[in-house]
Amino acid sequence: MSKIFAIALGVLTAIGGFVDIGDLVTNALVGSRFGMSLAWVAPVGVLGIVVFAEMSGRVVAMSGRPTFDIVRERLGPRVGLLNLVGSMAVTLLTYIAEIGGIALSLELATSVNELLWIPVTAAAVWIVLWRAKFSLLENVFGLLGLALIVYAVALWQLGPDWSQLWHSAATLDKPRGEEWSTYAYFAIALFGAAMTPYEVFFFSSGGVEEKWDASSLATMRTNVFVGFPLGGLLSLAIAGVATVTLLPAGIQVDTLGQVALPVAIALGKIGLAIAILGFFAATFGAACETGLSLGYSVAQYFGWQWGKFVRPFEAARFHLVILISTLLAGMVLLTTVDPVLVTEFSVVFSAVALPLTYLPILIVANDRGYMGEHANGRLANGLGSIYMILVIVASVAAVPLMIWTKMGNS
């Protein structure tokens, strides 16, 4: 019974934890401009994160070590350092966006300006990361994030023309007035939002914290193969309600309040309150994951003591990295930079950093010295190779498209 509960809880937290500020803003923005014509990116991105999360989890289960630790040993300190710098830059940008997302959620709930919430939210995130148990971070915020199911309820309540939505999703086309370059830019942004690098760092390090071994493979795979796809359906629901309500009205999403507007239209104040709760849980949970990922990456590269199951004073440098990152995030946000703009940058540069994250995982998962009989088979290698081509193409195209389209505003 306890094993069944662990699987069920893991699936639920994977669903609730899949959607962060990047998914919220990007899916709503795309729905408000392109309808469901970019819906195909969601299953592509979900399959990608499933393939590499499973590899990463398998590496942890068979070696007892996190992916980043093995990358440094297997590929050498120079490649490991390049991986560290690139991944840290993107994860820090995402961390800033998530803390800003918490402040925006609290502004929606209280009407108090987001700038007044930033010091409070940054301090709250750091205190939770300093003192809270790992199970609280993994389970509580993931479960509360399930409040975002309100988007699926809202889409059903709106009663759209389902055949028209399906036709739009199944047709590789763009609305009139949009350029193909802009279409490609937002496709890469959605792809980057679905395959954010920090998810793999957190997933593999969490596996070490929970002492995964070969007996944990079935539970890990259930969480990955069920939780992430269902989380992807939440992303499609967010795009769907924006398509039904905002696209016909010509409203383009550029604030978190506009992301919540379709739920308010469909379900009123109660629905809006549930959506805001989902925003808060999703962004707070993702802020915890990205903050920990920053500490995990640096500590694992340099061989420091790290982890939530270690007493804080025994992993002082790990927690110091998190503290400095939190202070830096708060200071950036206090410059009055728009958290939604930071979010848009973070998902694009996530796409840029994807090869740095996923190529080492693919290499290590094929190393029988670490993996033994659990090394990649033909299916895992086939999918992994296809996705490596996709992430390299996305990485190379992301910045030129961002410049060419003026971040999708051309």
Residues 27-84 pLDDT 10s: 999 999 999 999 999 999 999 999 988 888 888 888 887 766 777 777 777 777 887 8
- Find the largest Cα–Cα distance for the chain: 59
Higher pLDDT, 47 or 216: 47
Report pLDDT for 9: 47
> What is the tens place of the pLDDT at every residue in 114-165?
999 999 999 999 999 988 776 666 677 777 888 899 999 999 999 998 998 9
pLDDT above 90 covers what percent of the chain? 42
Burial of 270 (0-12, 13-18, 19+ CB in 10 A): exposed
Give the pLDDT band of residue 96 (cuts 50, 70, 90): very high
Q: pTM of the predicted model, to two decimals?
A: 0.90
Q: Per-residue pLDDT for 239 more than 90? A: yes
Question: Cα separation of 283 and 97, whole Å?
Answer: 9
Q: Are 282 and 256 in contact (CB under 8 A)?
A: no
- Predicted confidence band at 219 (pLDDT cuts at 50, 70, 90)? confident
pLDDT in tens, 366-390: 888 778 888 888 899 999 999 999 9
Lowest mean pLDDT among 16-20, 126-130, 249-253, 320-324: 16-20
- What confidence tens digit (pLDDT) does each residue in 6-22 have? 555 455 456 555 678 88
Indicate the average pLDDT of the chain: 86
Residue 361: strand, helix, or coil: helix
Question: Cα(410)–Cα(1) distance, rounded to whole angstroms?
Answer: 55
Q: What pLDDT score does 214 carry? A: 82
pLDDT for position 207: 80
Confidence check: pLDDT of 243 > 80: yes
Q: Look at residue 280 in the predicted model and tell me its pLDDT.
A: 93
Q: Residue 69: phi, psi to the nearest 5? A: -65, -45
What's the CATH class of domain 2-404? mainly alpha
CA gap 268, 193 in Å, rounded: 28
Please report, for the chain, the start and end positions of each structural domain, with discontinuous segments joined by +: 2-404
Rounded (5°) CA angle 73-75-76: 65
d(CA 175, CA 38) in angstroms, rounded, equals: 11
Distance CA 99, CA 122 (A): 6
Cα(100)–Cα(158) distance, rounded to whole angstroms?
A: 30
